[in-house]
Structure 1
Amino acid sequence: MVLASLGALYPFFPISLGACRKYQGFLFLVCCTPAFVFYLLVLPSITLDGLSLEQQDSTLLSDRSSNGIIEIGFQYPIFTPAISIINRGAYSREVNIFLRIIDRNQETVLFRAVRSKSDGQNLTVESTVRGMLSNNFRYLFNPVKLAPRQEMSGRAVFIITNIEDGATFTEALGNGHTGVFELRDPEGGQLLASFPMAPI
């Protein structure tokens, strides 16, 4: 916007009226310099860059007789915490949501939230769960797109594939196991931020 304004105003400067054409291009670049300085140097320095995540509540779909789970034939509990993610940066970005469970021996298990698209065409637990929940706009699927300085709220979907039932999952979290939400870069997988999970 600043760049467009300067470009529109520069022909009205008196000095440009008598200048040769080859100098008008140079004058245009001089007029545009403040816009480049603002967007490349000033704006990033005054922006509170970073991500924040807040957990609002937790829901565990472990009753196999509800939500159509019995019809699709798998026995994994589905953990769907309601979260709110804020992008404090000046630019849009995408993140993947993960859940890391740490036991008392400091051994970890990392769960990735259900993706909006899966690799391959085979029917998997992930694709089945996504199909079951995708018509509800309150669910978030990886990668999550975050607008600058905006908040995105919804429910992440984690399939707890190494635990047989929901009771075991909640008992594990109550017996010294801790949970951590991680936001990672979709391309390289780098950890961008981590936040402790609230008790279920």
Structure 2
Amino acid sequence: MVVLNKIYTRTGDAGETALGNGTRVAKHSARVTAYGTVDEVNATVGLARLYAKDETDDALARIQNDLFDLGADLCRPDMERDKDAEYPPLRMASSQVDRLEAEIDAMNKHLEPLRSFILPGGSPLAAHLHLCRTVSRRAERLTVELSALENVNESALKYLNRLSDWFFVASRMANDSGKADVLWVPGANR
């Protein structure tokens, strides 16, 4: 259980923060940048939920919870020493990736194949889902960069890769199953 009775601690005033294992690192470290960007994705999902209803809102709520799981995973280095931890660290699981894939496939069945790139926009929900997509792509790039420096859970990387695809397909669904997608017209303003 998490108990937060004091929000500021002053322990980060010199530009350092604590990871999940207690190690202190610079706030600009690759690991903090990666999980901080995952937090940004979560905030964009919160904005999208203002426009979502029913099943889409339920799916976005699951994704928000997954993103906290992902942040918990990324803030805890030293995966090889997890077996010695007092409490097993929370790690992303392949089942979370599988769920995203199943949801993408289910949504994609209702969409016509693309014949053009899509501009971010259309309905308010679709526009917000495109924002979620682009921020999740940035989170993925930063997590891949982190994985070149330190160990990162493979399921965490896969989840981020599938997540941006999920947002893309969901944005098309939010645009009247793709009928209201805003299509790119190459060179239209020359």
Q: TM-score, normalised by structure 1?
A: 0.25
Higher alpha-carbon Rg: 1
Q: Which has the higher contact order (CA 8 A, sep 6+)?
A: 2
Higher relative helix content: 2
Higher relative strand content: 1
Q: TM-score, normalised by structure 2?
A: 0.26
